[in-house]
Amino acid sequence: MKIIVNPLQEAFPELLQRPVMDHAALQNVVQGVLDAVRTGGDKAVASYTKQFDGVTLDNAIVTEAEITEAALALSPVLKEAIQLAAKNIRCFHEAQVNAPVAIETMPGVRCWRKSVGIDKVGLYIPGGSAPLFSTVLMLGIPAVIAGCKEIILCTPPSKDGSVHPAILYAASVVGITRIYKIGGVQAIAAMAYGTETMPQVYKIFGPGNQYVTAAKQLVQQNGVAIDMPAGPSEVCVLADETCNPDFVASDLLSQAEHGPDSQVLLVSTSSKVVDEINEALTAQLGILPRKDIAEQALKNSKAIVVDSMEQAIFIVNSYAAEHLIIACKNDETIGEQITNAGSVFLGNYSPESVGDYASGTNHT
């Protein structure tokens, strides 16, 4: 990590800059796949699955037998963990259901807001180096609570034509039964336009690589809604002298290991603590299974040391992290002063990972 001490405010914009992804360069390639699936349907999808996932599938739809097998293949410990996470997510999200409240703004003028679940939604779960079964829970459980009538899940198949059992098990815990072994741009196209075997959906949710993100942005221009475009994942840790340097190092690594483009930022009021975190990083990195990925991400990462907590909070608000961990004595008071952040984790015992998986809050 590059350590920066007391930077000038003029330097903040450059210091806190994110890598900008240029989707424009991908647009032609992505638009080609979208158009081909729109006109070619299932046949075009199958051909892209062969080309990009390296597998020929007779049937892209996951069968009931495959879902049953997945439950058998998975360890009881993991199944219990998935069930516990699902229970917490359900509990937290059910509390967000609001009954409409009618306001009489003038005599006889009664107005209310009512949330109605979207009839047909499509969830995209990326493949890649780790099965994102937690994202199945994070996207699926709110859709079920909202009352979406049709929930489609797309995820790329492995080279042997299978889907990771944890993804299938998580889907079955949520109650999703329409699962397609389709990944990438062809999955977004199939959900946006429909095929012979896939119903067209009204809104597409879920993370994905640059191609998937570009595809979502393009289909959005054709009347299909999407969630917010996903960029590389990022964490910011705000740590004072009361933090546990080993914990902070683990927090930074938990995000750095996501991918070489992950963003990791440490902001601290103590040079001593930053040095200790750096030492802990080196020690932990040595035994990390995904060491190579984390090392690359850390190369672009920064630790900023400032004199006051006020300045530290200003920097944190300027950066507007997707995930912010406040490893400080006055974590709740500091939390009140955070205006720009996605998820905020308060105190030494609230790592980002708890929110990524099982606290009940949503990571999407």
Which parts of this chain interact with its own copies (CB under 8 A)? 18, 20, 23-24, 88, 91-92, 95-96, 98, 101, 103, 105-106, 109, 111, 113, 116-117, 119, 202, 217, 220-223, 229, 317, 320, 338-340, 354, 359-361
The minimum distance between CB 65 and its own copies, in angstroms, equals 34
The minimum distance between CB 219 and its own copies, in angstroms, equals 12
Cα dihedral 161, 163, 164, 169 sign: negative
The minimum distance between CB 174 and its own copies, in angstroms, equals 17
The minimum distance between CB 236 and its own copies, in angstroms, equals 16
Q: Do the beta carbons of residue 24 and residue 209 sit within 8 Å?
A: no
Measure the CA–CA gap between 111 and 46, rounded to whole angstroms.
49
The minimum distance between CB 342 and its own copies, in angstroms, equals 11
Active-site residue, from 234, 322, 352, 363 = 322
Measure the CA–CA gap between 154 and 223, rounded to whole angstroms.
20
Residue 322 known to be catalytic: yes
The minimum distance between CB 136 and its own copies, in angstroms, equals 18
Q: Provide the β-strand partners of residue 178.
A: 152
Quick one: which of 14, 19, 7 has its CA closest to 297?
A: 19
Residue 6 or 221 having the CB closest to its own copies:
221
Q: What is the per-residue burial (b if ≥16 Cβ within 10 Å, else e) of 104-141?
A: eeeeeeeeeeeeeebebbbbbbbbeeebbbbbbbbbbb
Radius of gyration of the chain (CA): 22
Q: Do the beta carbons of residue 176 and residue 140 sit within 8 Å?
A: yes
Residue 51 or 96 having the CB closest to its own copies:
96
214: three-class secondary structure by DSSP: helix
AA identity, residue 329: K
Residue 96 or 333 having the CB closest to its own copies:
96
Burial classification of residue 76, based on how many CB atoms lie within 10 Å of its CB (0-12 exposed, 13-18 middle, 19 or more buried): exposed
The minimum distance between CB 230 and its own copies, in angstroms, equals 13
Residue 62 or 218 having the CB closest to its own copies:
218
Residue 323 known to be catalytic: yes
Residues 6+ apart with CB under 8 A from 37: 44, 45, 48, 185, 186, 189, 190, 193, 195
The runs of H, that is alpha helices, within the chain are 12-15, 27-48, 64-73, 76-94, 133-146, 165-174, 184-193, 210-220, 245-256, 271-286, 291-299, 309-319, 331-336, 352-357
Residue 288 or 320 having the CB closest to its own copies:
320
Active-site residue, from 164, 323, 352, 363 = 323
Residue 150 or 275 having the CB closest to its own copies:
150
- Number of H helices and number of E strands within the chain? 14, 13
Backbone angles phi, psi at 231, to 5 degrees: -105, -175
Residues catalogued as catalytic:
322-323
